Amino acid sequence: MRLLVTGGAGYIGSHTCVELQKAGHDIVIYDNLYNAKSAAVERISKITGKEVPFIKGDILDEKALDEVFCRYHIDAVIHFAGLKAVGESVEKPLLYYENNVSGTISLCKAMARAGCKKLIFSSSATVYGMHNEPPFTEDMPLSTINPYGATKLMIEGILTDLAAADKDWSVVLLRYFNPIGAHESGLLGEDPQGIPNNLLPYVKRVAVGKLPCVNIFGDDYPTPDGTGVRDYIHVVDLAKGLLAALKALETDGTKIYNLGTGNGYSVKEVVAAFSRACGHEIPWRIAPRRGGDAPFSFADASRAKKELGWTAQYDLDRMCADAWRFISRNPDGIQ
Nearer Cβ to ligand UD1 (170/266): 266
Residue in 34, 290, 313, 329 binding ligand UD1, rule: CB under 6 A: 290
Which amino acid belongs to residue 33? L
Does residue number 173 form part of the binding site for ligand UD1 (CB under 6 A)?
Answer: no
Does residue number 84 form part of the binding site for ligand UD1 (CB under 6 A)?
Answer: yes
Nearer Cβ to ligand NAD (198/252): 198
How many other β-carbons are positioned within 10 Å of the β-carbon of residue 151? 28
Residues 331/265, Cβ–Cβ less than 8 Å:
no
Binding segment toward ligand NAD, per CB under 6 A, in 7-15, 271-279, 292-300, 308-316: 7-15
199-235 burial code (b ≥16 CB/10 A, e <16):
bbbbbbbbbeeebeebbbbbbebebeebbbbbbbbbb
Nearer Cβ to ligand NAD (59/76): 59
Residue in 15, 117, 183, 230 binding ligand UD1, rule: CB under 6 A: 230
Does residue number 122 form part of the binding site for ligand NAD (CB under 6 A)?
Answer: yes
Closest CB to ligand UD1: residue number: 228
Q: How far is the CB of 285 from ligand NAD (least distance, A)?
A: 24
Residue in 18, 19, 58, 221 binding ligand NAD, rule: CB under 6 A: 58
Residues 9/38, Cβ–Cβ less than 8 Å:
yes
DSSP string computed for 160-204: HHHHHH-TT-EEEEEEE-EEE---TTSS-----SSS--SHHHHHH
> Omega before 135 cis (within 30°)?
yes
The interface mask with ligand UD1, positions 200-219, x = CB under 6 A, is --x------------xxx--
Distance of CA 94 to the CA centre of its chain: 21
Tell me the C-alpha distance between 233 and 264, whole Å: 10
**Residues near ligand NAD (CB under 6 A), total:** 28
Residue ranges that bind ligand NAD, judged by CB under 6 A: 6-7, 9-13, 31-36, 58-60, 80-84, 99, 103, 122, 124, 176, 178-179
